[in-house]
């Protein structure tokens, strides 16, 4: 969800992870999934 307009937007993995390799993305996925809801609560 876009913070200013509130509209839903597609999240491009390249934008989120830069040029990380597939292995690095898999390795960090669980940390990201845990981080995002926590960050959303903080931003609310």
Give 6-19 pLDDT, tens digit per residue.
777 777 666 666 76
Q: How many domains does the chain have?
A: 1
Pair 32, 39: CB distance under 8 Å: no
The whole-number pLDDT of residue 5 equals 73
pLDDT of residue 39: 85
Distance CA 7, CA 41 (A): 18
The yes-or-no verdict on residue 35 having pLDDT over 80 is: yes
Whether residue 24 lies inside any domain: the answer is: yes
In a domain, 20, yes or no: yes
Beta carbons within 10 angstroms of residue 20's beta carbon: 14
- Determine the Cα–Cα distance for residues 1 and 21; give it in Å rounded to an integer: 26
pLDDT of residue 2: 58
| Cα separation, 6 vs 29, whole angstroms | 25
Domain that holds residue 38: 13-43
The answer to whether position 25 is within a domain reads yes
User: How confident is the model over 7-34, as a mean pLDDT?
Assistant: 76
Q: What is the pTM of this model?
A: 0.43
């Amino acid at each position: 969800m876009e913070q200013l307009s509130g509209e839903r937007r597609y999240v491009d993995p390249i934008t989120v992870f830069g040029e990380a390799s597939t292995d690095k993305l898999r390795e960090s996925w669980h940390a990201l999934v845990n981080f995002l809801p926590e960050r959303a609560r903080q931003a609310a």
